[in-house]
């Protein structure tokens, strides 16, 4: 259940309006007028809250829920408890996300963290040449450098630094303790606390008597509707730009090296590392702790299983896994054979008895 100290819900909404928003059918049209005031999980939802069932593991919890309404696939409708209105959807989890956005719109786009939305704090530092759009929030301790531009309705969180010359689009949320340099950021971008964007790529000409630093002269380009999780780092390019494509979602603790190009709609999960000059096509998925070698291409629609180590190009639409990563069916066969090998009885001569 959402704590009202942190999450502000909108006014109650009729179930019929909710059904229309998510494209769901109401099992009983007489329920369309019921007023709902929020969302909650199956085990704690009350009679004025909407819940959902997506994973069959929770069918028993669904059968016992006290939720006023529940989003379910039609095949589970007969397991509903009495008194719970049903919203029938082929994609319950996706539908639930839309309902949660309806009740808690601020949480979908990011909101101020200090408590003074739409204001520039007296304790913030904004260079006289910086340009701020309408209704921009600059929280205490934040700084906006010379020539930087911040679009309307954007939030710059406490102690965040927007470097000189950077641009940030409209309706963005740049959380507390973020640093942005040498970067252009699109609209509706979310950078969670501790994100680092635009710092030097790891570029050195190695050799004796010392490793010579290669000036990193590129930028970071983050397109619209990108979300980047806490403490992720995105290095600027060495010459070409580092690019993150529209709608890509990046988890916490991810490292993106210089010159990396990431396409549209990619999913990159925690503790993944992408080496310099690697390229990802559109809608690529990298699961947790994947490692990607530099200067290779993972083509559109490919998926890499957790802890996979990608050392060669990956064809479009393929699923790879393992170390080194290979087609996932091949990798699974290898795992099974190794397990069988480990279970074989030991052979050989017994030690002679004394």
Report how many helices (DSSP H) and strands (DSSP E) the chain contains, helices first. Answer: 5, 39
Dihedral (CA of 81, 82, 85, 89) sign = positive
pLDDT band for position 1 (cuts 50, 70, 90): low
Nearest to 72 by CA among 82, 349, 85: 85
Instruction: For residues 29 and 43, give the distance between their C-alpha atoms in angstroms, rounded to a whole number.
Output: 25
Cis omega (within 30 of 0) for bond into 68: no
pLDDT band for position 130 (cuts 50, 70, 90): very high
Return the structure tokens found at 118.
Answer: 């739409």
Q: Are the beta carbons of 290 and 311 closer than 8 angstroms? A: no
Q: How far is CA 222 from the centre of its chain?
A: 14
Burial bucket for residue 338 (CB in 10 Å: 0-12, 13-18, 19+): exposed
Nearest to 277 by CA among 317, 238, 304: 238
CATH superfamily of 13-109: MurE/MurF, N-terminal domain (3.40.1390.10)
For residue 233, the surrounding DSSP H or E stretch is: strand 233-234
Instruction: For residues 218 and 238, give the distance between their C-alpha atoms in angstroms, rounded to a whole number.
Output: 5
Task: Work out the average pLDDT over 202-211.
Answer: 96
- What percentage of residues in the chain have a pLDDT greater than 70? 97
- Residue 351, pLDDT > 70, answer no
Q: Are the beta carbons of 161 and 174 closer than 8 angstroms? A: no
Instruction: For residues 273 and 259, give the distance between their C-alpha atoms in angstroms, rounded to a whole number.
Output: 14
Q: 64 in helix, strand or coil?
A: helix
Q: Which of 127, 258, 295, 312 is catalytic?
A: 258
CATH class of 181-334: mainly beta
Of the candidate ranges 3-12, 87-96, 119-128, 135-144, the one whose mean pLDDT is the lowest: 3-12
pLDDT at 10: 84
Task: Please calculate the CA angle 92-23-33 and round it to the nearest 5 degrees.
Answer: 100
Query: Is-catalytic flag, 258?
Result: yes
pLDDT at 206: 95
DSSP state at residue 120: B
Q: How far is CA 65 from the centre of its chain?
A: 30
Return the structure tokens found at 293.
Answer: 């070698």
Return the structure tokens found at 198.
Answer: 């635009």
pLDDT at 182: 98
Instruction: For residues 121 and 124, give the distance between their C-alpha atoms in angstroms, rounded to a whole number.
Output: 5
Q: What is the 3-state secondary structure (H, E, C) of 186-205?
A: CCCCEECCCCEECCCCCCEE
pLDDT at 353: 54
CATH 2.160.10.10 domain residues, the chain: 181-334
- Residue 9, pLDDT > 70, answer yes
CATH 3.40.1390.10 domain residues, the chain: 13-109
């Amino acid at each position: 259940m959402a704590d009202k100290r942190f999450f502000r819900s909108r006014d109650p909404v009729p179930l019929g309006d909710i059904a229309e928003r998510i494209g769901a059918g109401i099992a009983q049209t007489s329920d369309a007028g019921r007023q709902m005031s929020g969302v909650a999980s199956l085990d704690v939802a009350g009679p004025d809250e909407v819940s959902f069932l997506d994973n069959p593991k929770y069918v028993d919890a669904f059968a016992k829920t006290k939720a006023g309404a529940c989003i379910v696939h039609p095949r589970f409708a007969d397991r509903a408890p009495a008194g719970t209105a049903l919203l029938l959807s082929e994609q319950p989890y996706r539908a639930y996300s839309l309902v949660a956005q309806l009740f808690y719109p601020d949480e979908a786009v990011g909101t101020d963290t200090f408590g003074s939305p739409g204001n520039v704090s007296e304790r913030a530092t904004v260079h006289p040449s910086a340009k701020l759009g309408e209704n921009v929030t600059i929280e205490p301790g934040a700084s906006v450098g010379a020539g930087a531009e911040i679009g309307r309705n954007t939030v710059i969180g406490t102690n965040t630094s927007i470097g000189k010359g950077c641009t940030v689009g409209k309706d963005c949320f740049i959380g507390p303790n973020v640093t942005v340099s040498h970067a252009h950021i699109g609209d509706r971008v979310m950078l969670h606390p501790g994100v680092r964007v635009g710092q030097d790529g790891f570029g050195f000409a190695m050799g004796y008597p010392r490793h010579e630093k290669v000036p990193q002269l590129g930028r970071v380009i983050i397109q619209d509707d990108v979300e980047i999780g806490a403490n992720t780092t995105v290095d600027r390019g060495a010459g070409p730009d580092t690019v993150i494509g529209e709608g890509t979602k990046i988890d916490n603790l991810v490292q993106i090296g210089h010159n990396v190009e990431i396409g549209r709609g990619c999913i990159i999960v925690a503790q993944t590392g992408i080496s310099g000059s690697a390229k990802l096509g559109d809608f690529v998925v990298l699961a947790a702790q994947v490692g990607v070698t530099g200067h290779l291409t993972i083509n559109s629609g490919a998926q890499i299983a957790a802890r996979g180590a990608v050392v060669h190009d990956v064809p479009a639409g393929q699923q790879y896994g393992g170390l080194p990563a290979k087609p996932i069916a091949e990798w699974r066969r290898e795992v099974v054979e190794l397990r069988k090998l480990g279970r074989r009885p030991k052979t050989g001569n017994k030690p002679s008895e004394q």
